[in-house]
Amino acid sequence: MEMVLFEEKGLVGVITINRPKVLNALCSQVLDELNEVLDSIDTKKLRCLVVTGAGEKSFVAGADISEMSTLNKEQGEAFGKKGNDVFLKLEAFPLPTVAAVNGFALGGGCELAMACDFRICSDTAVFGQPEVGLGITPGFGGTQRLARIVGPGMAKQMIYTARNIKADEALRIGLVNAVYPAAELYAAAEKLAGSIAANAPIAVRACKKAINEGAALPIAEAVVCEEKEFGSCFQTADQQEGMGAFLEKRKHEAFTNR
């Protein structure tokens, strides 16, 4: 892998988009490598993922315009599908995911961050969907996920005006969960990932599945998703240890993911 790096830090995996000279822009090779990295991760061993960008200036500044500029209609649609397929895989990935946004998160970068479960950012981060200023629409889920996260009105305003927003506004509208000084961002991401990893992984993954599957369903159908995931946790070793420790008024032993 040249453009997407992967590192294991205990129970946490760290994915880094590694094209700092072009602000980590997403080209076809980046998408292919990200797809390969996701396929290679041992989900039984790890319990959380952090996604970030190399360097201090950018998380991901967008899709690679030099690659997109010569595409025709069919090629443009195929490029959008390539990005969407990878981001859908990331969104549905069984491990919880944290986007550590360390600078520009524009276009495809904002879309990559939105495919993660959580977004935390540095106080220097900038978010936006600037595509209409280039004569195109967002292509990797921006018109869909942004509206689901911040509401249709705010999403339309950001997309139609192509206006970028800073970290404080991203926090205000609910696009990010928290803002940190740039020097503290990675430590904060690892701390958040570590706090997730310390909980029962079977239960955490079941919660993610229930939330994702139920989001698009009427409540009466959505709670059925929850019931199934709730039931799936029973008679696991982690459930027995967690409830046993509670009843015995002691701290539970480390969860074993079984």
Please list, residue by residue across 159-184, b when 16 or more beta carbons sit within 10 angstroms of its beta carbon and e when fewer do.
beeeebbebebbbebebbeebbeeee
Q: Which of 111, 184, 226, 248 is catalytic?
A: 111
Q: What are phi and psi of 122, to 5 degrees?
A: -80, 160
Q: Which of 74, 91, 131, 229 is catalytic?
A: 131
Query: Can 213 be counted among the known catalytic residues?
Result: no
- From the number of C-beta atoms within 10 Å of its C-beta (0-12, 13-18, 19+), residue 20 rates as middle
C-alpha span between 222 and 107 (Å, rounded)? 31
* Nearest to 141, CA basis, from 100, 71, 89: 89
Can you read off the two tokens belonging to residue 137?
Answer: 């629409």
CB neighbourhood size of 145 (10 A)? 19
In 88-207, the DSSP E strands lie at 97-101, 104-106, 118-122, 126-128, 165-166, 178-180
For the question of residue 131 being annotated catalytic, the response is yes
- Taking each continuous run of H as one helix and of E as one strand, the counts in the chain are 11, 10
Pick from 147, 127, 132, 157: nearest CA to 60: 127
> Which residues are known catalytic residues?
111, 131
